[in-house]
Structure 1
Amino acid sequence: MLRDIPSTAAVNAVLSGQGLLDELPVAVYTTDAQGRITYFNKASVAFAGRTPAIGDMWCVTWRLLLPDGTPLPHEQCPMAVALRERRPVRNMEAIAERPDGTRVPFLPFPTPLFDAQGELIGGINVLMDLSGHKHSQLLLEPSQAALQPSHAHTHQATMAATLARSGRDFELLVRSVTDYAIFMLDTTGHVASWNSGAEKIKGYRAEEIIGHHFSNFYTPEDRAAGIPQLALATAMRDGRFEAEGWRVRKDGTRFWANVVIDPVLDNGQLIGFAKVTRDASIRRSAELALFESERRFRGIVNTALDAFAQIDESGRVIEWNPQAHELFGWSREQVLGKPLADLCFPSDDNSAQTWLASVWTHKLSRQTHQFIAANRAGRRFTAELSASVLSLASGPLMNIFMRDMTEKIQMETQFRQSQKMEALGQLTGGIAHDFNNILQAISSSLEVVDIIGKREHFTQADKHLQNALGSVRRAAVLTQRLLTFARRQTLDPQAVNVNGLVDSMREMLRHSIGEHIALEFALPEDLWPAHCDANQLENAILNLAINARDAMPHGGRLCIEASNVTGEDPDAFNVLATDGHYVKLSVVDNGTGIPSHIKERVFDPFFTTKPVGQGTGLGLSMVYGFTHQSGGHCVIESELGEGTRISLLLPRYRGPMQAPGEPPASVSGHRARGEHVLLVEDQPMVRDAINEVLSKLGYSVTVASDGLEGLSIAMSAEPFDLIITDIGLPGVNGRSLANSVRSKQPHVPVLLMTGYDTTLTPSSVELPAGMSVLSKPFNVDTLTEEVRQLIEWSRAQREV
């Protein structure tokens, strides 16, 4: 059953009395057909900067400009065009100059109004302020701008009715609004009037809905919750009900609605409710899209590997991700609105600010540079900044990604150091190899002279011979040190009880460093055995202790520490395989420390800061080469005035511990029995000298000058009692020669000689039985003992 409908005049009076248009936040005014002002709301006064006069021509009360600042003629004013051409005008931006000289960019929405007979009766205009935040809001919600003119249409009936005193004009105005549903409810909530906008939005014709309850527009869940009744009660209690939510069309589809309900009073008596509904689906979709975009942006930024900050033109932070919090120590809440320079850079260094200012000035993108940064605790570090300027309608912003470069710089430094040391190793190793061959020729020749002299009872030159041999031995020690640095020495890696080795050195260390230095040890009982050459490790510890002593001329403390570490452990300095196990042995002093510019060179061969004659500059070089050749690493940590820590990282030994070997049998009384020896050596002086020594000892010697000749002789003749071959031969090297011969004659012993051998790595030094290595230069006694042991091994094998 249809309800009674309030009269049009009553509705008109109520709407005008409520001043609905005055409550709108946008400027709205109406004119007659000639363009004279017939109504303006409160927002129009604020927009204009003055109070307009009824009857004035709106277009001529302003100084209007085009967006580029060109004056806009009065006849081209948007309202003048709309009235003259009898059509709505859209997308025509303009600038209005206020009486105080300030300018307002705005977007007008002039719409002509016609009566039922199609006669022009005036126009209505909505002015959208595009300055500041309002412009940004318009960009974010384009649908809202498109709907604003109709918002004004919703209420233009009041203006027309009030000014023209015509119910007919009011009804015409309300009916012409299509973007807003404007209708009346009676006191119980039944629909009492209906406009074309309501039909367009909700889908009902007037005859289908008038007299029905407005709860038909609510979802079943809202009706069950009593939301329609709550809306009317709120409007009565508070004077207005405003809300957004889902509403239902006639066809059952849902849309997102913005709803305003005002109570309608006549002399204080409630006669109904005025209800305005706007379809806000487009705006809500835009808001949701903005929300999703913001969430995606924050998800990307918050999961980025680098620290991220976004700043405005004043340099103040408006975004800050968790990685920035972790890097600099400031939380997001603490930094928002504060200058980035105060949070991330030292106060005494403005280079980063200068660079960022340049990026701002030139509106650059993807610019990268390195600067000194500082965190909340004051720690300074090198940071890489990548900055890009974003040009937005609301103003430019700058995105800045920041990365701590400390670890990368350390790794690059270690890599350069490794390359340098490798190059120096190749050079020094080559020099030592050639020098060893020269020393071997000199040493062997001198010993032959000594043997002949003793045989002939010529003793006058003994003193000079011994002096010469002593010089050869000292030169051999020097070349051995060079080979140690170059990682070309022949090592004998085995299981080393580091605790036991250090314990055995206590007295020697105390005598070496003196009584003015306190000697301490920190050696855990569960320390793993190390896999290295015990003699070289002992030399390394002694070298480091002596260096520490020299750094504490006035006394101090020297501590030898050890621990078990893995490659993943920070104590391994990120320089070794992450799945490896190592014994870390550190020599720590509290001496003078090492300046940073010297620290980079301490492992270089022959580099020393000691006075001339007090050091060779090879001590630390030997330590470095020994640890690397053993498959480990050597790291130095030092600060000037704070002392020094040098740590050796040596591979852990895995396997059964071996008992110490029996001492070699005495060689006294050994006599050669004419055994046949094949000598393969490419250096003529060395070959001749060793041949002479072996011949004097009673061996029969066949010589070859290269590996191919030696292999041909060995394979074509009767088996030799012993093969002595240099490893570094041209063509077929000594290792290949030995392996080829022993594949056919397994009981032939082989003595390998080397100035150094690049193939003798820690993993390949385990030679088969009946094969040994002799490092040049060697003396006659050493050669004699090696030859004797190998020949006896061969005899024992034949007997078996």
Structure 2
Amino acid sequence: MSNPVETAAQNEAREPAGADVSRDRLDLLQAALDHINQGFSVFDANLELVGWNRRLFELLDFPRHLARRGTHIEAFLRVNAERGEYGEGDVDALIARRVERARLFEPHTFERVRPDGQVVLISGAPLPAGGFVTTYTDITREREHQATLERTVAERTRQLRQSEDWLRLVTDNIPALVAYLGPGPVYRFANRRYAKWFDQTVESIIGKSAEEVIGPDLYPEIGPQIEKAFRGHAVAYEYSRARPDGRLAHMRSTLIPDRTLDGRTLGCFVLSLDATDQKRSETALAHAQRMEAVGQLTGGLAHDFNNLLTIIIGNVLALRRKAEAPAMPDLTAHLDPIFQAAQRGTDLTRRLLVFARGDAPDMKPVRLAALIANIEALLSKSLPRTIAWRCDLRDTEVVARADAGELENALVNLVLNARDAMPDGGEIALTLTRRTLTEAEADRAGVAPGAYAEILVSDTGVGMSDAVRRQAFDPFFSTKPFGTGSGLGLPTVYGFARRAGGGIAIDSAPGKGTDIRLLLPALGPETPTEDPADVSASATGKGELILLVDDDADVANVVRDQLCDLGYTVLVTGDTGDALDLVRDVDDIRAVLSDIVMPGQLSGLALVREVHRLRPGLPVALMSGYRQGPNRETGQGTGQGTGPGEARAGCPVLSKPFTTRMLAKTVSGILAS
């Protein structure tokens, strides 16, 4: 379906034939928008229309000739002004004021009553690159219903004030939260729903102050509304509060003053309606939902990538062992960066799966000085000779809770961004300190006051303008030439900082370089941290025969060599049928090590069941390039959901890629079990 005015033929006349796929996708999106029961519009930074749906024009009675890209917002405002929707006054002045207000690109939510009595809720939010997206909802029936309900509650409350039983009967059956506040303000009445909402009973809430019932977190927001109602004004407002099950609920409340004939305010009636479903519908347009297909695609990609990394890491480890010979003393210096890069590739696949499936990052206490020292050589060697590098670890004991892989990736992103900002050379400095932020300093970085580890990356490059600095953390925003920057570097760092409970701030000006401060909440220096150097030496084999099953010959060769170097004898097959024959016929096989995913054959889990049927008690371990198994519905994958590194079938799972030490620990473990 095309948009309300332009036909598919008109679009085709303007676009090249190569754009058919993109146009089809746009048409599909337009068709989806046209089925939404809310008006929808998107204006760019120039206040020109770039997106809309049919409901916008039906709801607000706009002329259809305005439904084209490039229509300025002034044209829509003029239609409204000329038919009196903005009240009396000079039309041009009314339009000018609203255009000026639109240019501020501020979030806005308000209701407008049209001349025909229709009530429209208008909610808009700014876009990262300028402009704004707005939704329009017809809430006339809801307001009429609410007004009727308010009148009903007010009338019934006055009539039945002396008859508590009748009052309770009525209000307890109204699908709303109803209460009455007397001077104080204190509660004189509340229906069952209202009392339960604030964890009270209809008996316990009577006589309590509003501040005590509503609570210290919410009362600063609601208290001013109550004060206004006691001054004789009807008040409508919205607020949010967590339900007992942890879900956030949105409430829309109205306070109606209880006034005498001579104008005195005796109290106020409270009416609250649950607006959670409506809020959920509104936010559905602003937030894209993760799709299961994306997770499956990313999982498959990660599996293949992890197989490649297994080959790289296995061969690098073999070369490192040979490099220990006196005749090749310099080879290790070249192999270490390759090994570190492969390990970072492992972290990358894990982060892809975190994004696609929503898995939590691996947050652990990290000694930051040690982590930075481990990657300093990589950082310094990534810089050209025209750029000087300085690393100042002023606090070597500071500890923060973070995902070490994500932190390394964040630092690499920051340093490479600084490098790209100095095409003619300069200096990059990385400084680690522990700081206690004041309230003003913390507010600027968007964090709470307290102790933080600050990682400062400074450069003497071209700097940023205010406009660029404000958009630096927007996804896909980049000042680099097309094809040289993804626009995801700084957004990735920003996301990492927020997940770690910290923040990030930029100080920059054109021609004066850039300072980027990464702030992570500091833990006490006594917090235990993991140190890879403390891991005990891996066990070695004594010639035990291991059956290795993997349909990827390159992966199988690497794992075979690692097992042989550990002292095991290895049989290799890429066919699960052959593997079962060998298990049945070769009694000397002491253990089986199999990949999980082997397209066109038995899966590793099915192979485990068959092996246990043929030879109960024969130890089996699995290998997988998935962080979570491919069959998440049954839980039969890598088993990450049933225990650390253990599949539901009871077998240890070795996540690809792995080091020789990890392989030795897994194999020696199953042989000893």
TM bin, normalised by shorter chain, reads: 0.3 to 0.5
User: TM-score if structure 2 supplies the norm length?
Assistant: 0.40
